[in-house]
Amino acid sequence: MEEFLLQPDPSDPRLTERLSGTDQDGGAVDTSVVVERPLTLFLNKREIVTMMTICDYPQYLAVGYLVNQNMLRADDEITGIDYEEDIETVVVRTKSETDFEDKLRRKTLTSGCAQGTVFGDLMERFDEIDLPKDAEIRTSWLYSLTRKINTCPSLYLEAGAIHGCVLCEEDRPLLYMEDVGRHNAVDKIAGYMRLHDIPADGKSFYTTGRLTSEMVIKTVQMGIPILASRSGFTAWGVDLARKAGLTLIGRARGKRFVVLSGKDRIVYDEDPSNVPDESKRTQRKASLDENAA
- From the first residue on, what is the mean pLDDT of each consecutive set of 10 residues in the chain (293 residues)? 80 92 94 93 91 95 92 91 96 86 51 41 76 96 94 80 92 95 93 96 94 92 95 96 97 95 97 82 52 50
Same domain, 194 and 271: yes
- Please give the pLDDT value at position 145: 95
Tell me which of 126, 160, 184 is where a domain ends.
Answer: 126
Same domain, 72 and 212: no
Contact between 209 and 215 under an 8 Å Cβ cutoff? The reply is yes
Give Cα 2 to chain centroid, integer Å.
Answer: 21
- When divided into structural domains, the chain yields a total of 2
Same domain, 62 and 164: no
Would residue 14 count as lying in a domain?
A: no
Write the CB contacts of 158 (distance below 8 Å, at least 6 apart in sequence). 10, 16, 32
Same domain, 157 and 48: no
Tell me which of 72, 98, 126 is where a domain ends.
Answer: 126
Can you list the pairs that 128-134 forms with residues at least 24 positions away whose Cβ atoms lie under 8 Å? 129/220, 129/221, 129/223, 129/244, 130/245, 131/220, 131/223, 131/224, 131/225, 131/244, 131/245, 131/246, 132/201, 132/225, 133/225, 133/245, 133/264
Same domain, 57 and 76: yes
Would residue 20 count as lying in a domain?
A: no
> In this structure, what CATH number is given to the domain that contains residue 120?
3.10.20.10
Apex 233 CA angle, 243 and 113, nearest 5? 70
Same domain, 159 and 96: no
> What's the rounded Cα separation, in Å, for the pair 171 and 173?
7
213-221 helix and 182-195 helix, angle to the nearest 10 degrees: 0
Count of CA atoms in the C-beta half-sphere (13 A) of 143: 18
> What's the rounded Cα separation, in Å, for the pair 155 and 163?
9
Same domain, 167 and 266: yes
Would residue 191 count as lying in a domain?
A: yes
Q: What is the enclosing helix (H) or strand (E) of 61?
A: helix 58-68
Would residue 209 count as lying in a domain?
A: yes
- Please give the pLDDT value at position 97: 80
Same domain, 187 and 285: yes
Contact between 244 and 131 under an 8 Å Cβ cutoff? The reply is yes
Same domain, 111 and 173: no
Same domain, 150 and 262: yes
- Please give the pLDDT value at position 52: 94
> What's the rounded Cα separation, in Å, for the pair 50 and 219?
22
> What's the rounded Cα separation, in Å, for the pair 27 and 43?
49
Q: Could you report how far apart the first and last alpha carbons of the chain are, in Å?
A: 26
Range of the domain at 86: 37-126
Contact between 227 and 248 under an 8 Å Cβ cutoff? The reply is yes
> In this structure, what CATH number is given to the domain that contains residue 260?
3.40.140.10
- DSSP assigned state of 89: E
Same domain, 180 and 84: no
Would residue 2 count as lying in a domain?
A: no
- Please give the pLDDT value at position 25: 92
Q: pTM value?
A: 0.86
Same domain, 151 and 197: yes
Would residue 8 count as lying in a domain?
A: no
Would residue 258 count as lying in a domain?
A: yes
Would residue 29 count as lying in a domain?
A: no
